[in-house]
Structure 1
Amino acid sequence: MIIGVPMEIKTDESRVALTVGGVAELIHHGHTVYIQKGAGIGSGFPDTLYESVGGKILSTIEEVYAIADMIMKVKEPIEAEYKLVKENQVIFTYFHFASSEPLTKAMIESKSICIAYETVEQADRSLPLLVPMSEVAGRMSVQQGAKYLEKPIKGRGILLGGVPGVQPAKVLVLGGGIVGKQAAKMAAGLGADVTIMDISLPRLRQLDDVMAANVTTIMSNQYNIEQAVQESDLIIGAVLIPGRKAPRLVTREMLKLMRPGTVLVDVAVDQGGCFETTKATTHRDPTYIIDDVVHYCVANMPGAVPYTSTVGLTNATFPYAIQLANKGWVKACKENKELLLGLNIIKGDIVYEGVAEAFELPYVDVNTVFENEIAI
């Protein structure tokens, strides 16, 4: 198979879909890998390293898309890439379709095969390709939140962990999944007074068993959230429903209950955000203020630490990528139910129910489409 790795052109995105080791392994299995010139530099992988293991460098993104059977990316294609995606081409990346109707319709029109990292799912319902970036984003959410609590950046002027004789900041984490757990651990480690909310009582029990003494677990509901936001200094949105839009847990009206300088960090922004006032921002212009509340809603938070993020991501994606390359997408998805769940759009048909629901578009059962592909 011919695999193409284009440069990520989303604003302030420096990650790359394959490390040098990943390219070497694909070539060892008999595949050809084309990398766009400079694609790995931001993550610490210059072109010469890719060439040293047999990777081929192409000058433009157009050349990479034109030659590849499978495109491996980190972030979803942006508008400039829509017309580059070919019919029958496999695109393996984070898509987060439910947050973007234009992207969804563009990929339908392309008649490509879209396999989304974020919906590849194991038997225990875990999301192995979302975990590494969720871990990075969860930890970064506290790091960024602590910074934007500083007064020069319009925050409340509170040190997250306080000092002897002074109370620490209060941190509210909405969601007890991978992001929420990592955020709570980081905030607790810095000495903050942490509250983590989730709708699952078993999950709250698990968190209660492993968290430090300065972490409190509370059942998530509208009343409890409304009470908690009034005394929180940093609120982290860490809610995920695989393949669907995130629920809006913090309303515009709740902002009026918060103290001036409170900081909101929405890690769910890729799925539409879990704050009503969320709008995607970039690392270049990361925050905005509504009702004296600071919003940090960067849609690719892990992109700020590209080396860590690239290595962590490719450690998780590569076992699936090698299956797709060795077997082709039909056989690989037939034999691996985890990859089957990663299929979101197949040659113009939406086969992931949450994506179809988000925009009231037609949904086709993946097994029906898949059986037709096997027959062909």
Structure 2
Amino acid sequence: MIIGVPKEIKNNENRVGLTPAGVAELRKHGHELYVQATAGLGSGFQDAEYEQAGATVLPTIEDVYAKAEMIVKVKEPIASEYPLIKEGQLLFTYFHFASGEELTHAMIERKAICLAYETVELPSRALPLLIPMSEVAGRMAPQEGAKYLEKPLKGRGILLGGVPGVKPAEVLVLGAGIVGTQAAKIAAGLGAQVTVMDINLNRLRELDDFMPKNVVTQYSNEYNIRAAIKTADLIIGAVLIPGAKAPHLITRDMLKTMKAGTVLVDVAVDQGGCIETCKPTTHEDPTFIIDDIVHYCVANMPGAVPYTSTLALTNATLPYAVKLANLGWQKACQQDAALRLGLNVVSGEVVYQGVAEAWNLPLVDVSTVLEGAEVN
């Protein structure tokens, strides 16, 4: 298969879809690799490293899209890329269609094969291609929140861990999945008093067993959230419903009950956000203020630590990329139920329920786009 790796062009996105090691592995299986010039530079990989691994470096993004049968990226295509996408071209990347109506309609129009990292799902319900970036974003959330709690950045002027004789900050984490667990772990390590909320009691029991004593768990409902936000200094939104919009757990009216200078970090902003007032921001301009509450809503948080993020992502995506390249997307998705769930839009049809529901579009059974073959 001919595989292309374009340079990411979303604001301040420095990750890259494949490392030189990933190129070498795909070459070992006999595939042809084309990488756009300087695509890996932001993650610390030189063009020469890709060439040594067996890739051909092409000067422009247009060249890469024109050559490739499969595009391996990190973030969803943006408007300037839409015209470059060919009918039947396989795009393997994060899409988050449920929060991007324009993107959804563009991919339907281009009749591309859109296989989304974030909805590849194992029988255990684990999301293997989302986990590494969730781990990065979760660990970054308290770090960013601590920074924006500083007074010059319009926060409350509180040190997350406090000092002897002065109470630490109170951190509220909404969601006890991968993001929430990592966020709670880092916030607790910095000395904060942490509350983690979730509706999954079994998960809360697990956290209670291994988290340090400055982390407490609480069942998530509107009453408990409204009470907790009144004293919280930092609130981290870590709610995920795979492939669908996140629910708004904090609404606009709740902001007025918070202390001025409270910081909100909405890691769920890629999926529409779990805080009603959040809207996607960039690393270049990461925050905005509503009702004296600081909102940090960067949609590609791991892009700020691209070396770590690219390595972590490629570790997870490469085995699936190899399978797609070796078998072709149809056979690979017939044989692998997890990959099959990654299919969101196929040749102009929506085949993932969360996307169809988000934009009121007709849903086509995925088996009908796999050439009528028997699906395992």
Is 1:330–1:373's contact at 8 Å kept on the other side of the alignment?
Answer: no
Segments ≥4 residues shifted beyond 3 Å? 371-375
Q: Which amino acid aligns with 1:35?
A: V
Give RMSD over aligned pairs: 1.0
In structure 2, what is the Cα distance between the partners aligned to 1:279 and 1:35? Answer: 32
Is 2:98–2:245's contact at 8 Å kept on the other side of the alignment?
Answer: yes
SS in 2 for 1:284: coil
Counterparts of 1:91-110 in structure 2, within 5 Å, are: 91-110=91-110
Residue in structure 1 matched with residue 261 of structure 2 by the alignment: 261
Counterparts of 1:160-239 in structure 2, within 5 Å, are: 160-239=160-239
SS in 1 for 2:49: helix
Residue in structure 2 matched with residue 283 of structure 1 by the alignment: 283
Structure 1: unaligned runs, 5 residues or longer: none
In structure 2, what is the Cα distance between the partners aligned to 1:111 and 1:184? Answer: 41
Q: Which amino acid aligns with 1:293?
A: I
Is 2:334–2:373's contact at 8 Å kept on the other side of the alignment?
Answer: no
In structure 2, what is the Cα distance between the partners aligned to 1:302 and 1:149? Answer: 20
Residue in structure 1 matched with residue 296 of structure 2 by the alignment: 296
Q: Structure 1 residue 322 and structure 2 residue 325: aligned?
A: no
Is 1:237–1:268's contact at 8 Å kept on the other side of the alignment?
Answer: yes
In structure 1, what is the Cα distance between the partners aligned to 2:62 and 2:335? Answer: 32
SS in 1 for 2:319: helix
Q: Which amino acid aligns with 1:312?
A: A
Is 2:88–2:347's contact at 8 Å kept on the other side of the alignment?
Answer: yes
In structure 2, what is the Cα distance between the partners aligned to 1:116 and 1:34? Answer: 21
Summarize deviations over 1:44-90 as a string: whole Å, max 9, x none. Answer: 00101001121100000011001100000000000001111111100
SS in 2 for 1:325: helix
In structure 1, what is the Cα distance between the partners aligned to 2:90 and 2:247? Answer: 30
Identity of aligned residues (%): 70
Residue in structure 1 matched with residue 245 of structure 2 by the alignment: 245
Please state how far the C-alpha of 1:372 moved relative to its aligned partner.
3.2
Summarize deviations over 1:279-321 as a string: whole Å, max 9, x none. Answer: 1000000000000000000000000000000000000000000
Q: Which amino acid aligns with 2:153?
A: I
Summarize deviations over 1:198-229 as a string: whole Å, max 9, x none. Answer: 01111111111111100010000001000000
In structure 2, what is the Cα distance between the partners aligned to 1:51 and 1:258? Answer: 54
Residue in structure 2 matched with residue 353 of structure 1 by the alignment: 353
Residue in structure 2 matched with residue 88 of structure 1 by the alignment: 88
Counterparts of 1:19-58 in structure 2, within 5 Å, are: 19-58=19-58
Residue in structure 2 matched with residue 305 of structure 1 by the alignment: 305
Summarize deviations over 1:316-371 as a string: whole Å, max 9, x none. Answer: 00000000001100111111111001000110110000000001011111122224
Is 1:330–1:374's contact at 8 Å kept on the other side of the alignment?
Answer: no
In structure 2, what is the Cα distance between the partners aligned to 1:171 and 1:53? Answer: 45
CA 1:11–1:135 in 2, change beyond 3 Å: closer, same or farther? Answer: same
**TM-score between both structures, scaled by the size of structure 1:** 0.99
Q: Structure 1 residue 146 and structure 2 residue 146: aligned?
A: yes
Residue in structure 1 matched with residue 61 of structure 2 by the alignment: 61
Q: Which amino acid aligns with 1:194?
A: V
Residue in structure 2 matched with residue 117 of structure 1 by the alignment: 117
Q: Which amino acid aligns with 1:30?
A: G
Is 1:155–1:294's contact at 8 Å kept on the other side of the alignment?
Answer: yes
SS in 2 for 1:256: helix
Residue in structure 2 matched with residue 368 of structure 1 by the alignment: 368
Q: Structure 1 residue 7 and structure 2 residue 7: aligned?
A: yes
Residue in structure 1 matched with residue 272 of structure 2 by the alignment: 272
Please state how far the C-alpha of 1:374 moved relative to its aligned partner.
7.9
Residue in structure 2 matched with residue 332 of structure 1 by the alignment: 332
Structure 2: unaligned runs, 5 residues or longer: none
SS in 1 for 2:328: helix
